[in-house]
Structure 1
Amino acid sequence: MALAQRASGSGRADWIVCRRCRTLSHARQVARRLGVCPECGRHAPLSAADRVEQLLDPGSAVRFGPPVGTADPLGFRDSRPYPDRLREARAATGLDEAAICVRGTIDGHPVVAAVMDFRFMGGSLGAGVGDRICLAAETACAERVPLLLVTASGGARMQEGAISLMQLARTSAALAMLDEAGVLTLSLITDPTYGGVAASYATLADVIIAEPGARLGFAGPRVIAQTIRQTLPPGFQTAEHLLEHGGVDIVAPRAELRGTLSRVLAAGRAAAPPADGSGPVPHPASAPSSGAPGEPGAPALVTDFGLLPERPPWETVRRARSLKRPTLRDLLPHLVADFEELHGDRLSDDCSAIVGGVGVFEGRAVLVVGNQKGHTPQELARNDFGMSSPAGYRKAARLMRLAGKLGLPVLTFVDTPGAHPGVEAEERHQAAAIAANLRLMARLPVPIVTVITGEGGSGGALALAVADRVLMLADAVYSVISPEGCAAILWQDPAAAPEAAAALRLDARELLRLGVVDAVVPEPAGGVEDAPRATAARIGEAVRATLRELADRPPGRLLAERLARYRRFAMPPPAAPAARSIPPAAPADPEERH
């Protein structure tokens, strides 16, 4: 391990010095921590062999692929000929190139991995590395096994000139092939990952995981300083900065990487529950009964609006907005096993008002995405009261495209007053982000089930709710505008909000009558406030029954029925005019005959 330099002058090799904090640590302690400094947490570089040993199940790793030859396409020479540098790197590392290909398993999940080693000429990308990345991708595609790319690179290999540049296109095409084949791809970004590797396969994976402090960027600080005379702010290209700005999905300490990879790899298998029903069933559905909604023995879903009680709509609005209602983060631990949250729109930001990721529901991998409000003033402010920015909708779209690629059912949870208003959102094209989601969900070839758990406000809610089945909790609301907004515009008096709420028909009973929602989920006796487990059980029963109904539909039928669902919200044709009796014609005036 290259955690640090050995302590000098002692003549012993059992103490090492961290290159960041200069702390002296015992080598065994550092090894137990997988090469992480016990004092400052620096994640030291690892060899490709050490990476494989740490990430893959013991005894499962098998290297494959032919040896890489020696080529010097340019006849390149600086202070030494390029072939001499290759021979030196091979002698120092025991490798023939800066990447190796491995088959193996992670917690039993099969995986094909291409693992880079920075010790070999700075992990630079040349034709030999391109061969290894493409071989790993082709193998993963042929075997329909997820591909894991572990990157560590200073960029393209200068000694191979334009041949090195071509590896960016070559490896990117290999990942596009896996996209078309529906094979999951993952990147593990280690320090550093720069240049051509960052601008190709490292950032094209479906899920990007980074070690703490890992640097990722196209141009490094030295290149930026030399070319445009700018100095990067501290931490600018680190994993933590990239997570905040939407560039990576997960930052995981080295000790947690295997578990993180295992949870994400589970989505790549996307296996349906066993036909005999032997898979895990966390929330068994109740048999339909005539019990009153919300009482023991009640049906999981109510599809007859006449069974729902009539309440003053304004009272329902107040219930839907209660800060004691369970949020998505409250419900998830009771709904979805092994949930792994994924972050960022890969463009500019990570919006905390949208939570999304992969997990297991009823023994089957699913993708979950939804609004997150909060309970405290601090949470509400951090999450913008559940109002998504354009980055949030783009994150949701990115995750839903992943679900389409892998064949995962999508579960969306809506609880938002609407999309985030304001100058910044408009500058980042809020309307276009919402419209793109509507189009995407209309044609996504996997089952989509939406549950409105609190507020469903306007286009900001619909951007997560174009679904095969739209369910809502009994005390949720769904409307084109808030009652206050409607009252201010039409009544010109915000105090008329209760009257506007009644006119908008925004409660579950009316929405079920209108066909805007397909079914209503009864709430637990006593309501959902401070009852996340009981609420999740109710939602779980409803989603389970709904997904089972949709499970066997081929994509073509799903899309046709989804289109038909929304086509029915059209203006009915005008009524035919009532039949009228036509009086007999009066006899012609005899005088007019002549």
Structure 2
Amino acid sequence: MPDRPQAPAGVPARELLAGLTDDFAEAPPESWAAPGTADDDGPLGWPGYGAARGKARARTGEAESVVLGTGRVDGTEAVLLAFEFGFLGGSLGERTGARIEAAHVLARERRLPLVSLVATGGSRMQEGMRALSQLQRVARQCALTRAAGVPQLAVARHPTTGGGWAAVASGADVVLAVEGAQVAFAGSRVRPEGADPAAYTAEGQYAAGHVDRLVPAGELRSALGRWLALLAGPPGDRLEPPPALRSAAPPATGWEAVERARSAGRPRAGAYLDACFTRREEIGGDRCGGRDDQGVACGLGRLPDGTTAAYAAQLGTATRPAGYRTAARLVRLADRLGLPVLTLVDTPGAAGDGEAERAGTGPAVAACFAAVAEARVPVTTLVVGEGGSGGALALAAPGHTWLVPEAYFSVIAPESAAAVLKRDGGRVRETADQLRLRPQDVVGLGAARGIVDPA
């Protein structure tokens, strides 16, 4: 890459850190020692490389392209790693890799969340494969930190490209992106001619499900503070199923159960989330190019006792593959962080259109089943509306599922069952009774533990 940044450097790293924290303290230099003298021409002997680094130091006041240390963001202590784009375009070299590794080691040793404030053009050309191999070093550190159950939060600033996007930002548990930032694997000078510029933006990555939230630059501190308070907050115990939000006697017939669950006036999952949590932050996207399911809400929330829990809620529509993959991602994140999970079931079933099949309904449902089955943290489920077949069961906790009186759970919708059995439409209600899908039937069959009462 060239010696001068090709995009605006934005806020210098130390100024950014000073604005985000009240007490930033830089980590001691001995924690990021790397070979080589300050002014040599690097492992390739690249002519003028040492002089270029010297100019970068004079221009920015930094000895490398990242600054690391600790500080409190709105009361939550964290390890912070900030890229200095003014230093050779925030590029990753061997010394950069040493500092990133030191940040991860410090986060694991002190059990503090790691915040990476990324702004980089990618790997440093003047160090060749020695620079590129730092991505493996960073990936290993991300994996070790993940395995240790220490939260990682990344902010993609302008610009975040190349290995900085692929290995540093995208590997975090939660990814925020500054509105208007250039965010992409391909830098501006190596993209195919005629490529859609929107695909290389924070907004484009958000739309494709690779970023959890877009944040205006002026609101970054408050956004980080909210997320860190949840990520670093004490985990709750196994959640009790929330009480029903409306009093109702169990339905008399199967079809009455179906009609109640499909009623537009009954309480929805959002109302239950509001009743359970005092504050919430949502993750978004499946990291596989999907953010097309507005019928699933996943995130972390603060419980009334001050502890943190995770939630995955179906919002009443047919669930699409991206929704299942996002829910699976949420459950796995909660499992790593030791957070209990609440799932709210309300769907007529998995989406069955051709686009959903091409997007992988089967594998996505399988991933959700696996995430719940493999979870070491307690998972609690409340069916708040329709429990439509395997598309609903994928989010249900074995042995820890409850229903509200206005719900049903069935192997198949009664209309579909009648069609499969070649019955005429007049026998749908009879079929609903035969399916034994009422809440009390589901409990009697051993598929749920009970029906919840109002508070």
* TM-score of the two chains, using structure 2 as the length reference: 0.91
- Matched-pair contact (CA < 8 Å) for 1:117–1:123: yes
Quote the residue 1:338 is aligned against.
279
Structure 2's unaligned 5+ residue stretches are 1-6
Take 2:437 and 2:322, find their aligned partners in 1: how far apart are those partners?
Answer: 28
Paired amino acid for 2:421: L
Question: What CA distance in whole angstroms lies between the structure 2 residues aligned with 1:464 and 1:371?
Answer: 9
Does the residue aligned with 1:139 lie in a helix, a strand or coil? helix
Q: Give the secondary-structure state (helix, strand or coil) at the position aligned to 1:115.
A: strand
Match of 1:360 in 2: 302
After TM superposition, the structure 1 stretch with the greater mean CA deviation from structure 2, 448-457 or 329-338, is 329-338
Structure-2 residue corresponding to 1:27: none
State the secondary structure of the residue aligned to 2:287: coil
Shift of residue 480, structure 1, vs aligned partner:
0.9
Distance 1:352 1:425, change over 3 A: same
| Alignment match, 1:112 | 79
- Measured in 2, the distance between the counterparts of 1:468 and 1:144 equals 33
Q: Distance in 2 between matches of 1:190 and 1:65?
A: 25
Of 424, 428, 443, the match for 1:497: 428
2:242·2:382 contact (CA, 8 Å) conserved in 1?
no
**2: CA distance between counterparts of 1:284 and 1:476?**
14
1:65–1:135 contact (8 Å) kept in structure 2:
no
Q: Does 1:232 pair with 2:175? A: no
Supply the AA of the counterpart residue of 1:208: V
After superposition, give the CA deviation of every residue in 1:468-492 in whole Å (9 maximum; x if it has no partner).
4101111101001101101112143
- The alpha carbon displacement at 1:152 in A equals 0.3
TM-superposed deviation, 1:196: 1.5
Tell me which residue corresponds to 2:290: 349
Tell me: CA distance 1:135–1:482, structure 2 relative to 1, closer, same or farther (3 Å). Answer: same
Partner of 2:352: 421
Tell which structure's C-alpha radius of gyration is larger.
1
Structure-2 separation of matches of 1:398 and 1:436: 9
Q: Which residue of 2 aligns with 1:320?
A: 261
Q: Distance in 1 between matches of 2:251 and 2:207?
A: 45
Taking structure 1 as the reference length, the TM-score comes to 0.70
* Aligned-residue RMSD, C-alpha: 2.3
Instruction: Kindly report which structure 2 residues correspond to 1:425-444, keeping only aligned pairs within 5 A, or say none.
Output: 425-444=356-375
Match of 2:150 in 1: 183
User: Displacement, 1:430?
Assistant: 1.0
Deviation at 1:436, TM superposition (A): 2.0
Within a 5 Å distance, the mapping from 1:108-187 to structure 2 comes to 108-187=75-154
Matches of residues 362-381 of structure 1 in structure 2 within 5 Å? 362=304, 363-373=306-316
Q: Deviations over 1:429-486 (max 9, x none)?
A: 2111111221221120001000100001011101111344101111101001101101
Q: What letter corresponds to residue 49 of structure 1 in structure 2?
A: R
Aligned to 1:480: 411
Which of 247, 253, 265 lines up with 2:210 in the alignment?
247
Counterpart amino acid of residue 199 in structure 2? F
* Mapped partners of 1:472, 1:489: distance in 2: 27
Q: Secondary structure in 2 aligned to 1:209? A: strand
Distance 1:218 1:522, change over 3 A: same
CA contact (8 A) 1:47 1:117 kept: yes
CA distance in 2, matches of 1:199, 1:234: 19
**Change in CA separation of 1:160 and 1:346 when aligned onto 2, cut-off 3 Å:** same
Counterparts of 1:170 and 1:410, CA distance in 2:
32
Residues 244 and 330 (structure 1), Cα distance of their counterparts in 2 relative to 1, 3 Å cut? farther
Pairing 1:460–2:423 present: no
Distance 1:472 1:359 in 2: 22
What's the CA shift for 1:348? Answer: 0.8
Could you tell me how far 1:310 is from its partner in structure 2?
Answer: 5.2
Letter in 2 for 1:109: T
Distance 1:503 1:468 in 2: 24
The CA distance in 2 between the partners of 1:285 and 1:426, in whole Å, is 36
1:449 to 2:380 alignment: yes
Instruction: Report if the CA contact (8 A) 1:221-1:231 is conserved.
Output: no
Distance in 2 separating the partners of 1:166 and 1:331: 48
Aligned-partner residue type, residue 105 of structure 2: E
Q: SS at the partner of 1:200?
A: helix
Give the structure 1 partner of residue 333 of structure 2.
402
CA drift at 1:267? 3.0
- What one-letter code is carried by the residue in structure 2 that aligns with 1:196? G
Aligned equivalents of 2:207 and 2:337: distance in 1? Answer: 26
Query: Which stretch of structure 1 is more off in the superposition, 386-395 or 186-195?
Result: 386-395
SS at match of 2:29: coil
Query: Matched residue of 2:385: which SS?
Result: strand
CA distance in 2 between partners of 1:206 and 1:315 (Å):
43
Q: Is the 8 A contact 1:447 1:468 kept in 2?
A: no
In structure 2, the CA distance between the partners of 1:52 and 1:443, relative to structure 1 (3 Å rule), is same
In structure 2, the partner of 1:588 is none
Q: Which amino acid aligns with 1:101?
A: L
Letter in 2 for 1:390: P
Q: Percent identity?
A: 38
Equivalent residue letter for 2:226: R
Which protein has greater RCO, CA pairs closer than 8 Å, 6+ apart? Answer: 2
2:3 match: none
Q: Distance in 2 between matches of 1:410 and 1:504?
A: 29
Conserved in 1, the CA contact under 8 Å of 2:65 and 2:91?
Answer: yes
Structure 2 CA distance for aligned equivalents of residues 488 and 369 of structure 1: 32
TM-superposed deviation, 1:284: 10
The gaps in structure 1 that reach 5 residues or longer are: 1-19, 21-42, 275-280, 287-292, 296-307, 374-385, 524-537, 539-594
How many angstroms apart in 2 are the aligned matches of 1:372 and 1:149? 33
Task: Confirm whether residue 62 of structure 1 aligns to residue 25 of structure 2.
Answer: yes
